[in-house]
């Protein structure tokens, strides 16, 4: 990770915060202790990498913090719920509210380490995806309207010939524009270009690549 990750411990119980911080310090984690979601927001930045360890003492109150923290959402830190004791209902409710895992305080240090490391790994991947999408969006803004039109038709799975017919242009002219799109988007193949569009636009990904595309490009989708 480029940024040193932080484990945010959120608990309204000072004793629980202290006990959790002692255990996590032994695991070598950088910590920030918070007594509420408001305290968390005041002591965190969107640029921080890490995860949240949310102490669940009173499910009807503490789980509202997940909503206040914006969970579940791809743009937010992963949350691990932890409680001194809890029934299945509380554990399930915690997960439904957006937590990535749920622990009891009696869990071993190894179990705690594993879950925290998994959450930090998830957050690292999340940040890389966000950075990638932002980079793609910046390149999209560099496309002129005519080039964006060609890209939109490629996203629909249309071949060069079909695009040429729709726009009333020659196939050669479309090939030139398509090459410019590929250059601007830094895409070596159409398959890679379509994956970029899927990252940005999600379900608008075309169901197929034009038949004229090479087998190499089709293989690179897998």
Instruction: Identify the band that residue 70 occupies on the pLDDT scale cut at 50, 70 and 90.
Output: low
**pTM: predicted TM-score of the whole model, two decimal places:** 0.69
Indicate whether 12 and 101 sit together in one domain.
Answer: yes
Among 131, 165, 182, which residue terminates a domain?
A: 131
Among 107, 131, 155, which residue terminates a domain?
A: 131
Residue 28 lies in a domain: yes
Domain that holds residue 160: 142-219
Instruction: Identify the band that residue 77 occupies on the pLDDT scale cut at 50, 70 and 90.
Output: confident
Instruction: Calculate mean pLDDT across residues 169-195.
Output: 94
Strands 31-34 and 79-83: unpaired
Residue 162 lies in a domain: yes
Indicate whether 125 and 86 sit together in one domain.
Answer: yes
Indicate whether 195 and 148 sit together in one domain.
Answer: yes
Indicate whether 113 and 17 sit together in one domain.
Answer: yes
Query: Which H or E run includes 33?
Result: strand 31-34
Contact yes or no for 70/82 (Cβ under 8 A): no
Residue 170: predicted pLDDT: 95
Residue position matching structure tokens 């380490």: 113
Indicate whether 116 and 180 sit together in one domain.
Answer: no
Residue 136 lies in a domain: no
At 220 the three-state DSSP class reads coil
CA-wise closest residue to 79 among 92, 91, 62, 95: 95
Indicate whether 17 and 109 sit together in one domain.
Answer: yes
Has residue 45 got a pLDDT over 80? Answer: yes
Indicate whether 123 and 14 sit together in one domain.
Answer: yes
Residue 129: predicted pLDDT: 87
Highest mean pLDDT among 22-26, 65-69, 110-114: 110-114
Contacts 24+ apart (CB under 8 A), 123-129: 123/5, 123/49, 123/50, 123/51, 123/77, 123/78, 124/1, 124/5, 124/49, 126/74, 126/78, 127/49, 129/74, 129/199
CA-to-CA distance for 30 and 6, rounded, in angstroms? Answer: 5
Has residue 18 got a pLDDT over 80? Answer: yes
Contacts 24+ apart (CB under 8 A), 37-43: 37/10, 37/65, 37/68, 37/69, 39/10, 40/8, 40/10, 40/69, 43/8
Distance of CA 122 to the CA centre of its chain: 8
Give tens-digit pLDDT for 201-216.
Answer: 875 444 343 444 433 3
Has residue 41 got a pLDDT over 90? Answer: no
Instruction: Identify the band that residue 88 occupies on the pLDDT scale cut at 50, 70 and 90.
Output: confident
CATH of the domain at 71: 3.40.50.2300
Residue position matching structure tokens 């202290």: 18
Domain count, the chain: 2
> Across the chain, what does the average pLDDT equal?
82
Indicate whether 47 and 71 sit together in one domain.
Answer: yes
Indicate whether 36 and 108 sit together in one domain.
Answer: yes
21-56 CB burial, b ≥16 within 10 A, e <16: bebbeeeebebbbbeebeebeeebeeeebbbbbbbb
Structure tokens at 175: 């090939």
Indicate whether 31 and 72 sit together in one domain.
Answer: yes
Among 71, 103, 131, which residue terminates a domain?
A: 131
Residue 210: predicted pLDDT: 43
Indicate whether 176 and 114 sit together in one domain.
Answer: no
Indicate whether 10 and 81 sit together in one domain.
Answer: yes
Tell me the longest C-alpha to C-alpha distance in the chain: 74
Who has greater pLDDT, 66 or 147?
A: 147
């Amino acid at each position: 990770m480029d940024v040193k990750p932080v484990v945010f411990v959120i608990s309204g119980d000072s004793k629980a915060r202290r006990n959790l911080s002692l255990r996590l310090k032994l695991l070598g984690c950088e910590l920030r202790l918070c007594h509420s979601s408001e305290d968390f927001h005041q002591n965190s930045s969107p640029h921080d990498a890490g995860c949240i360890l949310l102490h669940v003492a009173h499910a009807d109150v503490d789980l509202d913090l997940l909503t206040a923290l914006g969970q579940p959402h791809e743009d937010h830190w992963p949350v691990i719920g932890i409680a001194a004791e809890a029934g299945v209902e509380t554990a399930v409710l915690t997960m439904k509210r957006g937590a990535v895992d749920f622990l009891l305080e009696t869990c071993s240090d190894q179990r705690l380490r594993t879950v925290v490391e998994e959450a930090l790994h998830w957050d690292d991947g999340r940040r890389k995806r966000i950075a990638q999408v932002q980079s793609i969006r910046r390149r999209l803004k560099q496309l002129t309207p005519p080039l964006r039109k060609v890209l939109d038709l490629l996203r629909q799975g249309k071949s060069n010939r079909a695009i040429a017919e729709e726009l009333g242009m020659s196939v050669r002219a479309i090939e030139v524009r398509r090459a410019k799109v590929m250059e601007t988007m830094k895409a070596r193949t159409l398959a890679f270009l379509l994956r970029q569009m899927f990252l940005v636009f999600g379900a608008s990904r075309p169901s197929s690549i034009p038949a004229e595309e090479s087998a190499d490009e089709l293989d690179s989708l897998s």
